[in-house]
Amino acid sequence: MPLFKTIVANSQTTVKIWKIEESFDDLIKPLTLKPNTLERVLGMKSVLHQRGFLSVRHLLREFGYTDLDLSYDENGKPHLKNGKQISITHSFNFSAVIIGDLTVGIDIEKHRDKITIIAHKFIGYEFDYLNENHPDYIKKLTAIWCVKESLYKLFATPGLSFKNCLLVIPFSLNDDQTVAWIDYENKKYRYTIHFLEFEGFTCAYTIA
- Digitized pLDDT (tens) for each residue of the chain, 208 residues in all: 589 999 999 999 999 999 999 999 999 999 999 999 999 999 999 999 999 999 999 999 999 999 999 999 988 899 999 999 999 999 999 999 999 999 999 999 999 999 999 999 999 999 999 999 999 999 999 999 999 999 999 998 888 999 999 999 999 999 999 999 999 998 999 999 999 999 999 999 999 9
Query: CB within 8 A of 175, min separation 6: which ones?
Result: none
Predicted confidence (pLDDT) per residue in 18-30, tens digit: 999 999 999 999 9
Return the pLDDT at 2: 85
DSSP state of 102: S
- In this structure, the answer to whether residues 11 and 90 fall within a common structural domain is yes
Where does a domain end: 45, 71, 106? 106
Cβ–Cβ < 8 Å for 141, 94:
no
Q: How far is CA 28 from CA 22, 31, 57, 113, in A?
A: 10, 5, 9, 32
- In this structure, the answer to whether residues 53 and 138 fall within a common structural domain is no
> What's the CATH code of the domain at 83?
3.90.470.20
- In this structure, the answer to whether residues 95 and 32 fall within a common structural domain is yes
Instruction: State which residues form the domain around 122.
Output: 107-202
Determine the 3-state secondary structure of 196 from DSSP.
Answer: strand
Return the pLDDT at 3: 94
- In this structure, the answer to whether residues 119 and 182 fall within a common structural domain is yes
Whether 46 maps to a domain, the answer reads yes
Q: Residue 86 forms beta bridges with which residues?
A: 99
Return the pLDDT at 1: 59
Dihedral pair phi/psi, residue 203, rounded to 5°: -125, 135
Return the pLDDT at 87: 98
Give 17: exposed, middle or buried? Use CB within 10 Å, 0-12, 13-18, 19+: buried
Whether 111 maps to a domain, the answer reads yes
- In this structure, the answer to whether residues 34 and 97 fall within a common structural domain is yes
Whether 207 maps to a domain, the answer reads no
- In this structure, the answer to whether residues 33 and 18 fall within a common structural domain is yes
- In this structure, the answer to whether residues 38 and 86 fall within a common structural domain is yes
